[in-house]
A and B are shown apart, each in its own frame.
Chain A
């Protein structure tokens, strides 16, 4: 059976290097593939059950690692999950089955979008879930999710920008450093899915911040003239706080050392889920003045 490590995306062949026009197209499209504008506020004021959300994301990441799905699959699953919840409410008093059903459906949809081999629906339901759903029930949930998302499942993700942003770094010429930046950035991006505060940032901003983190402070002149540098700095700061600071020591070392990682364990065990005032990309009022700490009530219990 596959190991439970996070598989990094292998760098795409040379013909995939995105040009300016392709990046512009992605930047135009990304607002259409994000949760509704008030979703982050609803998560913060607990009208969305963030604990159930975190459980769902953790489960998605575990199954994703078990089957060695691509990082894009995991990110898409969470994207569908959040977009659905931003438009629809699930019953709160359901013992958690509604969230679990939604997470199975979202992971199944993402796998069908991205993977060449997709497990049966019963085989997706790993790690002793409280409920096991019949395929017919999951299919109905898949249809409901797709209808709510207007069948727009080809979401723009931070991974779409990685090659382009990495190419902007001063020391990204060798294939070894490319691999290093790519796998480290991928792991950082995946780990942000657990933290509600990153919902306030566009995929391009998350990608740029992840590349900055993996580059250990090497700053490009600019990632793109349509990517707000202040937003990137703010997202980078959050990333260092919630993702890098809570990584196991080996992962932190991997992020700060230029050598490529020996194994892509990643940062999936990072303790996350804070309630800091992350600015939303859509109504940014300037970066916070201090480094942000998660409040005790929001930090998940270990």
Chain B
């Protein structure tokens, strides 16, 4: 194994240190911020996950609150993890009012990648669970319009988010502003990145993904947005299951078990469909989502359409009658 420590390769670390855009100090360790050498002061650990930690920090130069995601690079055999590369390079190209801003990328000791984002108050999951879900219809409408604007923008750039759920929708409370976050699983339409990592919950996953389809596109994001829409209205996830099979069963109970007529190609995709799942008649969305105006229910049904080819696009959804008064809503809330 060749690993010569020449002057040049030895200068890697100093080169990286010079290129690294953020350094930190911590109150906990009693270190005083040095304006010349430190950019961020860690206030608290906001979250710990398998990939690393999330800190709430203070930008020493501007006094602004920022969020820093510190990702640990452990699997050296793979080098820098692909999800980090994808997320950062993607965020470098996405510029939209409803997508979280990546402010800086930094490196620490060659073991961590630090992603510094603008700070938002909380996520939609927290908003629904802890603060009482957005009970007024205008807030729901405004939030939905903003989510769809961000998704339509991503899709126009051939980018799928692939992991839309309330915890990945951030909220600036004072401005009633919504921003999409966590693009770790995002990628282009054309790539064959399957949902190999079945991470997290399946509650927001489109039925074609739950059926292990390799042919999926923008429609998977619209299903997730539909699930978020319903959850904002009813205050809890529309279908909650402990695994993919139960999730599909819950969806079929709600919308009816698909047939070749309602979802062309389903028997090829799931040859054993009628062995594993009874033939449910649709209970209907209106049974569960009761506090939604008719145009909203219509839009929701177009998002939560089992057949991906008939599911509404983000661009078309923005033009739906449900949003006819959205400019008024925006003026009122933003």
Contact = CB atoms under 8 A, between A and B. Distances in A.
Interface of A is mostly: helix
Interface in B123-149: none
B108 to A, nearest CB: 11
B190 A12 contact: yes
B12 interface: yes
Interface string B1-43: 1111010110011011001100000000000000000000000
Interface string A213-243: 0000000000000000000000000000000
B79 to A, nearest CB: 4
A29 B93 contact: yes
Contact of B19 (A22, A94, A142, A148): A148
A122 interface: yes
Contacts of A91: 6, 8
Residues of B in contact with A, size category = 35 or more
B158 A16 contact: yes
B88 A151 contact: yes
A136 interface: yes
Contacts of A136: 76
Contacts of A292: none
A5 B207 CA distance: 37
Interface in A137-194: 137-144, 146-148, 150-154
Given A112-B86, A151-B92, A146 B80 contact: yes
Interface string B59-95: 0000000000000010011111010011011101100
Interface in A85-130: 90-91, 94, 97-98, 101, 105, 108-109, 112-114, 116, 118, 120-122
Nearest to A109: B85
Contacts of A13: 189, 215, 217
A135 interface: yes
Interface residues of A, number: 47
Contacts, number: 115
Interface stretch (B48-56, B191-199, B249-257): B191-199
Q: Name which of B4, B80, B189, B192 has the most chain A CB atoms within 10 A of its CB.
A: B80
A131 interface: yes
Contacts of B2: 97, 131-134
Nearest to A120: B77
Nearest to A153: B89
B19 A98 contact: no
Interface in B174-193: 189-193
B287 to A, nearest CB: 33
Contact of B3 (A112, A122, A133, A144): A133
Interface of B: 1-4, 6, 8-9, 12-13, 15-16, 19-20, 73, 76-80, 82, 85-86, 88-90, 92-93, 105, 107, 110, 156-158, 189-194, 196, 215, 217-218
Given A144-B19, A154-B90, A154-B93, 15 more contacts: A16-B158, A16-B189, A108-B79, A112-B82, A113-B82, A116-B196, A121-B77, A121-B79, A131-B2, A140-B16, A141-B12, A143-B110, A144-B15, A151-B88, A153-B85
Interface of A: 12-13, 15-16, 21-22, 25, 29, 90-91, 94, 97-98, 101, 105, 108-109, 112-114, 116, 118, 120-122, 131-144, 146-148, 150-154
